């Protein structure tokens, strides 16, 4: 990056700049190129980190949206209690697999493990299980008329 920044500053004379106390010459072109290279490198690292984070974020929450739609469709159809029960069991299986992936077989929780994509997906499946359980409870209870 430094050589590229220095090449872009071709219009600044290479012999323009101060001579230090130890007779070391620093041209303004090389000092500015170093500044631009460091700034550009930090910006590039930030962009790469943001892209990676949002790629995971959108995949996880896209999956959540799909599963919420499945829950909504199951709660509106005939035989909804059976379909909701099947969904809950499916989510429990996925949750067990995600917990094993995120925390290992002994399921020791740490801050690093809690930040992993698998742990974030596990949290979403915990929420989905709670949502399905609530809908199952509503389906099992007799409806109260508001007359």
> What per-residue confidence (pLDDT) applies to 89?
93
For residue 130, pLDDT beyond 80: yes
| Each residue's pLDDT tens digit, 88-122 | 999 999 988 888 887 776 666 665 666 778 888 88
Name the pLDDT band for 43 (thresholds 50, 70, 90). Answer: very high
Q: How many angstroms separate the CA atoms of 84 and 88, rounded? A: 6
- pLDDT tens-digit series, residues 45-58: 999 999 988 887 88
Residue with tokens 């690292």: 45
Helix axis angle, 28-76 to 80-103, nearest 10°: 150
For the stretch 20-29, pLDDT in tens is 777 777 777 8
Name the residue with higher pLDDT: 30 or 86: 86
pLDDT band at 142 (very low <50, low <70, confident <90, very high): low
Yes or no: say if 77 and 83 are a contact pair by the CB < 8 Å rule: yes
pTM score of the predicted model = 0.58
Which token pair is 115?
């930040």
Number of neighbours of residue 128 by Cβ within 10 angstroms: 23
């Amino acid at each position: 990056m430094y050589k590229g920044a220095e090449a872009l500053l071709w219009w600044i004379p290479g012999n323009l700049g101060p001579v230090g106390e130890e007779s070391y010459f620093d041209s303004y072109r090389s000092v500015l190129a170093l500044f631009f290279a460091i700034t550009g490198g930090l910006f590039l690292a930030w962009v790469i980190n943001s892209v990676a984070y949002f790629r995971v974020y959108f995949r996880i929450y896209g999956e959540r949206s799909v599963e919420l739609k499945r829950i909504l469709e199951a709660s509106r159809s005939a035989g909804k209690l059976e379909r909701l029960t099947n969904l809950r069991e499916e989510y429990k299986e996925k949750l067990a697999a995600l917990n094993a992936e995120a925390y290992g077989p002994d399921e020791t929780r740490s801050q690093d493990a809690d930040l992993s994509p698998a742990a974030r997906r596990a949290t979403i499946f915990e929420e989905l299980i709670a949502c399905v359980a609530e809908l199952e409870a509503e389906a099992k209870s007799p409806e109260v008329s508001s007359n």
